[in-house]
Amino acid sequence: MKTFKPLSVALVGLFAVGFASSASAEAITVVSWGGAYTKSQINAYHKPWEAKTGNKVNSEDYNGGLAEVRAQVEAGNVTWDAVDVELSDAIRGCDEGILEPLPLDELPAGADGSKAADDFIGGTLTECAVGEIVWSTVFAFDKTKMKKTPTSIKDLFDTKNFPGKRGLRKTPRVNLEWALMADGVATADVYKVLSTPEGVNRAFAKLDTIKGEVIWWEAGAQPPQMLADGEVVISSAYNGRLFNAIMVEKKPFDIVWDGQVWDIDLWVVPKGSKNFKTTWDFIKFSTDTQRLADQAKFISYGPVRKSSFPKVQKKMQPHMPTAPVNFKNPLQNDYEFWADNGDELTERFNAWLAG
């Protein structure tokens, strides 16, 4: 008995401490993509929210996709509260019923008084998700290695005038769209053409012309690294990662904004989250006008609220995907198209790669 006593006392004490802290403040688990992006969220969202409410945010990293969310929901043991996902996953998860529908009319109005529904740019509020940022897939080149300066998406596919290895993301997304654009399809018609079997063949035929020159990347950190190592001379990449390489690490890269494919990241809540009320409070807070504008201080992704644009720092504005000078020939990623055709096209893409 003697030896057990201190132990049991300690255990009771531990429980008491745990209980006390959970009674006064709640902790939620917020999951995002890691790196510079998560850092920008911690600075702009998590810290001010913790200071305001006294609650705690546990930040976790993941690599995208709904696999973990689905596993948690199916096992009935949901440990993630808010997850930062891409639009196609937000739609898909909502359709499959593994995400909580959100009471969107409770979102705060913009700083200029406009209603949330009007303030968020089109398509960034969906049944189960609240948008945060606009990000873009663009391509960049190493200024020291290129004799001529690439200016349009056609140049990415032009190995004669712009020789050297290319970096592309190992997925049909964006690549098929770009192949068609480089083949002369107008930006507005890309998904219309891609919806036909001939269009898909045409896109793959165009990709065939550079297949031997491509090095495929998977993680967002890879392309700036491959450019810096001289492994590729031109590469597709996420604009935020390039911003970091160019502005912070002073690499001699230049971004080509022509044909940028933009997409959004959104908050979703897995079905059965144990802290729904607190999490929803966090989401409302983090997507208000000020917080979204603050985030753009730390990374060059654009806010989804119109009322946040004027509040973005002047020096950051030219690096935003939505800056008018960059937004001349943009293509919005068509989540409906990819939700329908993603499986089949990826299958074909993988077969094409292996063949």
Interface segment toward another protein; rule CB under 8 A; list 1-9, 89-97, 234-242, 279-287: 89-97
Cβ closest to another protein, residue 111 vs residue 228 = 228
Helix 197-208 × helix 335-354 angle, to 10°: 50
Q: What is the CB neighbour count within 10 angstroms for residue 150? A: 20
Which residues between 40 and 79 bind another protein (CB under 8 A)? 63, 65-67, 70
**Burial grade of 75 (CB within 10 A; 0-12, 13-18, 19 or more):** exposed
| CB 163 to another protein: min, Å | 11
On whether the CB atoms of residues 266 and 132 are closer than 8 A, the answer is yes
Cβ closest to another protein, residue 149 vs residue 350 = 350
Structure tokens belonging to residue 48: 């001010």
Report the C-alpha gap between 225 and 309 in whole angstroms: 31
Structure tokens belonging to residue 84: 């930062």
Choosing from 8, 12, 15, 95, the residue that interacts with another protein (CB under 8 A) is: 95
Report the C-alpha gap between 204 and 227 in whole angstroms: 25
Interface segment toward another protein; rule CB under 8 A; list 116-124, 135-143, 234-242, 339-347: 339-347
Cβ closest to another protein, residue 182 vs residue 214 = 214
| CB 20 to another protein: min, Å | 33
Q: What is the CB neighbour count within 10 angstroms for residue 63? A: 11
Q: In which residue are the tokens 């993988």 written?
A: 350
Report the C-alpha gap between 173 and 155 in whole angstroms: 19
On whether the CB atoms of residues 98 and 73 are closer than 8 A, the answer is yes
Q: What is the CB neighbour count within 10 angstroms for residue 168? A: 25
On whether the CB atoms of residues 181 and 190 are closer than 8 A, the answer is yes
On whether the CB atoms of residues 266 and 133 are closer than 8 A, the answer is no
Q: Does position 215 bind another protein by CB under 8 A? A: yes
x-marked contacts with another protein along 97-136 as a string, rule CB under 8 A: x---------------------------------------
Cβ closest to another protein, residue 98 vs residue 304 = 98
Cβ closest to another protein, residue 53 vs residue 346 = 346
How many CA atoms within 13 Å lie on the side-chain side of 230?
A: 3
Which residues between 218 and 247 bind another protein (CB under 8 A)? 218, 229-231
Q: Does position 306 bind another protein by CB under 8 A? A: no
Q: What is the CB neighbour count within 10 angstroms for residue 80? A: 21
Question: CA angle 25-30-36, nearest 5°?
Answer: 125
Query: Radius of gyration (Cα) for the chain, nearest Å?
Result: 23
Report the C-alpha gap between 207 and 353 in whole angstroms: 10
Cβ closest to another protein, residue 70 vs residue 154 = 70
Interface segment toward another protein; rule CB under 8 A; list 103-111, 148-156, 209-217, 315-323: 209-217
Cβ closest to another protein, residue 106 vs residue 218 = 218
| CB 216 to another protein: min, Å | 6
| CB 85 to another protein: min, Å | 13
Cβ closest to another protein, residue 112 vs residue 336 = 336
Which residues between 238 and 297 bind another protein (CB under 8 A)? none
Choosing from 44, 81, 83, 92, the residue that interacts with another protein (CB under 8 A) is: 92
Residues touching another protein, count (CB under 8 A): 36
| CB 73 to another protein: min, Å | 10
Q: Does position 198 bind another protein by CB under 8 A? A: no
Q: Residues interacting with another protein, by CB under 8 A? A: 63, 65-67, 70, 92, 94-97, 165, 211, 214-216, 218, 229-231, 336, 339-348, 350-355
